[in-house]
Structure 1
Amino acid sequence: MTIYHFVGIKGTGMSALAHILHDMKLKVQGSDLEKRFFTQIGLEQKGIKILPFAKENIQPDVDMTVIAGNAFADTHEEIEAAHELGIPVIRYHKFLGQFMEKFTSVAVTGAHGKTSTTGLLAHVIQGAKPTSYLIGDGSGKGEEDSEYFAFEACEYRRHFLAYHPDYCIMTNIDFDHPDYFQNVDDVFNAFQEMALQVKKGIIACGDDEYLQKIQAKVPVIYYGFGEENDFQARSIEKSTAGTKFDVFVRNNYYATFKIVGYGDHNILNALAVIAICHYEGVSEEIIQDRLLTFEGVKRRFSEKKRENQVLIDDYAHHPTEIRATIEAAKQKYPDRDIVAVFQPHTYTRTQTFLQEFADTLNLADHVYLCDIFGSARENHGKLTIQDLKEKVNNSHVIDETNVEALKAHENGVIIFMGAGDIQKYQEAYEALL
């Protein structure tokens, strides 16, 4: 029996894929850095072997296929060892592209909202048909008799061009990953190329000016708040318990839905899922029930109560996402102070969006900043966290040793935001409490 060996198994996409193959009764193992990552908890619970990186992990007398994470170059010792021994090596996105051919596949892509929308789609469509899924928070599930495969498709370095899905949900187009994309037009071109690879239909946010320009060989169904959308949300009622709205399909009333999410972005995510389910003939009763039982995905508005405070862990690392997260917190907790604890992710992104970061962080009542989480591939230049601090009103810089400053906000909602290792600041604060 073939052993699938994952080089970089703790990566979010890689760990999710490892879960899927394991669930489908295939033999899975992997290697990674010995540093602890949140993704390994689920792998350990399933008994999936995780080894430290070593060329000895690649064994000449074993039937093995190596799945290589995109973060690792061809010069990595295990990848080199596999090539020398004639063992097949396939990149993560290439493997995924071949794997999905067995199912009705739904790719979820966009600059923001991919993970939450993939999680919601997988949860809802499972209520109708057996579904396998791969979510960018490290979650994955394989069903041996799956009809559907819902997966997150990342635009970074145009990796999603390895995929030819049946359907594609496109949530938005925005300038991000400035270490790779030149500008928003470069991002648009990548999405346009992806659109031409979709086989059955595209579900796109019609409120997004760039997505309105997408050309495709298949139908493009638009969703959003504007009247020109095929699927439109109307009569929106926001409360501290969630959000309720009516959905009109081409100006005809379809049904009323409730979600336990907050903020406009969660209405749009739900609309995308409602549109694809409607297109695939899933009943409105199943959609309504499943929307109400969705518990969210990891690191997206993940809440804990500690004493009188609410602590929220969120992956927001782009100005658009920070705005959405703060607005959601204000909807759920209108009578509390919103405290942002933000760790910028990569020097290139911080430099590119310095003013936009400041503008969105200023929407919070109080702001604490953590040192920039840089990438090994970057040239740091002279940029420091002080450059952002100067632009954010009454902000403070903290590290793991002085998180007790957050205790001052007795009734506050403290949002730890970032894509680096922001969790260590939250863990340090929780240990203090």
Structure 2
Amino acid sequence: MKFENVYFLGIGGIGMSALARYFLHEGRRVAGYDRTPSSLTEALEAEGASVHYEDDVRRIPAPFLDPATTIVVYTPAVPHDLGEFVYFREQGFTIEKRSQMLGHLAEGKYVMAVAGTHGKTTTTTLVAWLNRALTGGGSAFLGGLSKNFGGNLVLGDGPRLAVEADEFDRSFLRLYPDVAVVTSADADHLDIYGTHEAVKEAFSQFVRQIRPGGSLVIKQGVEITLDNPRVTIYRYAYDTPCDFYARNIRLAEGGHYRFELVTPSGVIGDLTLGIPGWVNIENAVAAVASVWCAARAEGSELAEEPLREALASFTGVKRRFDFYLNTPGQVYMDDYAHHPRELAATLTSVRRMFPGRRITALFQPHLYTRTRDLYREFAEALSLADEVVLLPIYPAREEPIEGVGSEMIAGLVRVPCRIVPREQLADTVAAMPTDVVISFGAGNIDACCAAIAERLRAKCRS
């Protein structure tokens, strides 16, 4: 790339910060704007990036004001009337979406892309971890903070590149993978797509972009148009017989599972996944299928013992089945789930892990449009808990919509349910009779986790 400087609009996003870290590693000068400080922006500043939090052209560092030496990367969540965005556009800077830049960086790599309306972050991260274990190398751009790698960027030798392929704003259509995983194609981001059919068509287009001779690994039951004759299609499932699936699944201590994995080339036995939850067994099946395809493309087979060790040592992603407290008398965990299918899958997993125990779900809806479109499904999923506490909607990039609020969900939940302000959440939970507590949401509910955990620990000590 000819540019010495890379400026990011929305530098604090999980995907944007991974790109920023990549360019810092490459020796480029990096700066950017975001609305609020976060642990991600603090880490970037510690690594050498210049970050500010006011939309003010005067805050842009001088070296980044020359269009001949600076490229601008933006996230679709940034409004086009943002002052700095307008300035860069009017001054003739080269401006690219995050997905465009990611597409450039994927050129010349063996791309292993994981797409889906849910499940993709854990699956992508496990693909990256398996690549490292099985090849000693591999790189990755992740949509979450990997506990094994200590971040959202993985840099390693070899051609394999694991990428989380984000369907928001059709960003994943900038990728041309060698192996693609599709975990789901549910109705989501309808503010962008309009209809569920349009969502499914975007996933169909993504599959069409798999390179000739490549492979598609798609969850059993996901129905999209598959009309790319140049690729091999494999189906995967949790325990339904198909090309890749788990069998002889046994629940072990702490919610972990032992299982066997059926593949087209045989059965791999005596596997244990290092993170709990049945839904993560399904994610693991998809990840192993992906690296199985990569190995076959290289003319080799999976090495079973390194695979066993890698699955057992996988520690997951921050805010995915993230335990803060796990005792016989009190459990508290946090999860990023923000779609009804994700909520239902996680609650079902927790119910299996802790049979007979009382589950309290804390949920912060994310986006007015998603709540408007899916409030019935949210209520149905949350009714799998024994009690529910809702927070007001986290707006993210959206303005309020008249008549849309958490009350729409609360009115249909079939178990005891209340709505409280976020600042009262820890006190509310502390005053409730609790057993197994799980918080959900893609907004800022995670800022409450430490306080909730401390209050629950205090209850255990009293």
TM-score (norm 1): 0.91
Distance 1:70 1:387, change over 3 A: closer
CA distance in 2 between counterparts of 1:253 and 1:428 reads: 45
Q: What's the offset of the Cα at 1:375?
A: 4.6
Counterpart in the other structure of 2:24: 22
Counterpart in the other structure of 2:286: 272
Q: What's the offset of the Cα at 1:165?
A: 1.7
Residues 67 and 93 in structure 2, CA contact (< 8 A), matched pair in contact too: no
Residue correspondence of structure 1 range 27-46 to structure 2 within 5 A: 27-33=29-35, 35-46=36-47
Whether 2:242 is the aligned partner of 1:229: answer yes
CA distance in 2 between counterparts of 1:133 and 1:411 reads: 39
Q: What's the offset of the Cα at 1:4?
A: 1.2
Whether 2:63 is the aligned partner of 1:65: answer no
Aligned-partner residue type, residue 287 of structure 1: L
Counterpart in the other structure of 2:340: 319
Q: What's the offset of the Cα at 1:378?
A: 4.5
Whether 2:381 is the aligned partner of 1:352: answer no
Distance 1:268 1:402, change over 3 A: closer
CA distance in 2 between counterparts of 1:180 and 1:70 reads: 11
Q: What's the offset of the Cα at 1:116?
A: 0.8
Q: Secondary structure at the match of 1:16?
A: helix
CA distance in 2 between counterparts of 1:377 and 1:193 reads: 27
CA distance in 1 between counterparts of 2:153 and 2:361 reads: 33
Q: What's the offset of the Cα at 1:335?
A: 5.3
Residues 138 and 155 in structure 2, CA contact (< 8 A), matched pair in contact too: yes
Q: What's the offset of the Cα at 1:418?
A: 0.9
Q: What's the offset of the Cα at 1:12?
A: 1.2
- Write out per-residue CA displacement over residues 226-249 of structure 1, whole angstroms, 9 at most, x where no aligned residue: 665211221111233411111222
Residues 60 and 85 in structure 1, CA contact (< 8 A), matched pair in contact too: no
Residue correspondence of structure 1 range 4-19 to structure 2 within 5 A: 4-19=6-21
- Give the number of aligned pairs: 431
Partner of residue 412 from structure 1, selected from 418, 424, 435: 435
- Write out per-residue CA displacement over residues 176-213 of structure 1, whole angstroms, 9 at most, x where no aligned residue: 112122333221111111111111433333422415x5
Residue correspondence of structure 1 range 186-265 to structure 2 within 5 A: 186-199=198-211, 200-211=213-224, 213-216=225-228, 217-225=230-238, 229-241=242-254, 242-250=256-264, 252-265=266-279
Counterpart in the other structure of 2:299: none
Residues 340 and 416 in structure 1, CA contact (< 8 A), matched pair in contact too: yes
Q: Secondary structure at the match of 1:204?
A: strand
Whether 2:119 is the aligned partner of 1:98: answer no
Q: Secondary structure at the match of 1:339?
A: strand
Residue correspondence of structure 1 range 291-302 to structure 2 within 5 A: 291-302=311-322
Counterpart in the other structure of 2:168: 156
RMSD: 2.5
Residues 237 and 285 in structure 2, CA contact (< 8 A), matched pair in contact too: yes
Structure 2: 5+ residue runs without aligned partners? Answer: 146-150, 296-301
CA distance in 2 between counterparts of 1:17 and 1:302 reads: 25
Select between 185-194 and 125-134 the one with higher mean Cα deviation.
125-134
Residues 23 and 141 in structure 1, CA contact (< 8 A), matched pair in contact too: no
Select between 140-149 and 169-178 the one with higher mean Cα deviation.
140-149
Residues 425 and 448 in structure 2, CA contact (< 8 A), matched pair in contact too: no
Partner of residue 136 from structure 1, selected from 138, 143, 156: 143
- Write out per-residue CA displacement over residues 10-66 of structure 1, whole angstroms, 9 at most, x where no aligned residue: 011101111222233333222212x23342243244233212332231423872211
Residues 239 and 331 in structure 1, CA contact (< 8 A), matched pair in contact too: no
- Write out per-residue CA displacement over residues 280-334 of structure 1, whole angstroms, 9 at most, x where no aligned residue: 2241222211111111112111111289533222111111111111122223333
Question: % of aligned pairs identical?
Answer: 29
Structure 1: 5+ residue runs without aligned partners? Answer: none
Partner of residue 178 from structure 1, selected from 177, 183, 190: 190
CA distance in 1 between counterparts of 2:51 and 2:104 reads: 25
CA distance in 2 between counterparts of 1:195 and 1:205 reads: 10
Distance 1:2 1:135, change over 3 A: same
Residues 263 and 324 in structure 1, CA contact (< 8 A), matched pair in contact too: no
Whether 2:380 is the aligned partner of 1:362: answer no
CA distance in 2 between counterparts of 1:192 and 1:66 reads: 30
Distance 1:252 1:338, change over 3 A: same
CA distance in 1 between counterparts of 2:349 and 2:130 reads: 22
Select between 243-252 and 150-159 the one with higher mean Cα deviation.
243-252
